[in-house]
Amino acid sequence: MIVLAVLGGVLSGCASPEATRAGTAVLPTAPEKPAAASSSPSRAPSRAPSRPVESDPPVLAPGPGGLTPVFERRATGSTGRDGAGAADKVVALTFDADMTADQGQRAAGGERFDNPGLIASLRRLEVPSTVFMTGRWAQEYPDQARSIGTDPLFEIANHSFSHHAFSSPCYGLPTVAAEDMRADVERAFTAIRRTGARHVVPYFRFPGGCYDDASLKALAPTGVTAVQWDVVSGDAFATDADAVAEQVLERVRPGSLVVMHCTRSAAPVTDDALRRIVPELRERGYRFVKVSELMRG
């Protein structure tokens, strides 16, 4: 079921396993449409069929009181190691490209906040994906941002400019002042588009997954849809790729939205985990979609 959550929050993949804040209001939307089953689920599909028709990405209507809408995927059905489960076996892998403004000096010193190997693996495996990019990451790696944002396999969404929190407390992150929240999001979009990226969607992921009514109200004029998740990969600061893969494989259900990271210094084993996750999910009959396609239902 696709739900519109106007008060809840799920913990970030950068922090601890998921939990939902009390007081979530859930509004059901249209029923999901089953996806066509693949005749060869164990084989990687060609890239062309995975590309959605080029059209305006869907966005949700504002929530009660005109608050920014929140897309939260609640997966249904059983995953089953034998591939059994619900008919609509799609999953969206999302990757947060985190970087704060004060990490520029560390990047200049050689610390890598990018992960070109991960992007190369997604291309080789032909996995449509959504990258939630901070504006600071786009400024530090403009060539990579442009490459990602001009490849129809990917779409780029907004992850703030400097990865500061939009509500507090939020895992020790510095907090954006309420009057600066809109400008922060718009600044990130500007930085991303200046790289030449074209496939930029009006979606936003709160750093840390932390938000409240005040932040939802502040961002309403930007027209974004906030995007949460139901599966935390646990790749942040992990050192065991198999453990990350197992966590994803155990938790994915038809319709899941998985949060992972595209920041090598903070998530060094994501690429290795991905190269196990993708073929195993395909063996179970799953196909991969971007958030925009998942939102279309």
Residue 134 lies in a domain: yes
Tens digit of pLDDT for each residue in 52-94?
Answer: 446 789 999 999 999 999 999 877 765 444 444 445 899 999 9
pLDDT (average), residues 200-222: 98
CATH of the domain at 291: 3.20.20.370
At residue 195, the pLDDT reads 98
User: Of 282, 248, 229, nearest to 75 (Cα)?
Assistant: 229
Of 14-23, 52-61, 155-164, 257-266, the range with the lowest mean pLDDT is 14-23
Task: Return all residues near 226 (Cβ < 8 A) that are at least 6 apart.
Answer: 68, 69, 70, 71, 203, 204, 205, 206, 211, 216, 219
Percent of the chain with pLDDT over 70: 78
H or E element that contains 186? helix 181-194
Residue 257 lies in a domain: yes
pLDDT (average), residues 260-288: 97
Residue 232 lies in a domain: yes
Q: Give the residue carrying structure tokens 């495996």.
A: 125
Higher pLDDT, 47 or 180: 180
Cα–Cα distance for residue pair 88/254, rounded to 1 Å: 6
| Mean of per-residue pLDDT scores for the chain | 84
Is the pLDDT at 2 greater than 70? The verdict is: no
**pTM, rounded to two decimals:** 0.82
Residue 281 lies in a domain: yes
Specify which residues 93 forms β-bridges with: 258
Residue 81 lies in a domain: no
Residue 58 lies in a domain: no
Strand 129-133 and strand 287-288: pairing? unpaired
Q: Which domain holds residue 250?
A: 86-296
**What total of structural domains would you count in the chain?**
1
Task: Return all residues near 108 (Cβ < 8 A) that are at least 6 apart.
Answer: none
Cα–Cα distance for residue pair 145/199, rounded to 1 Å: 10
At residue 163, the pLDDT reads 97
3-state secondary structure of 18: coil
- 102: pLDDT confidence band, cut at 50, 70 and 90? confident
Residue 259 lies in a domain: yes
Residue 97 lies in a domain: yes
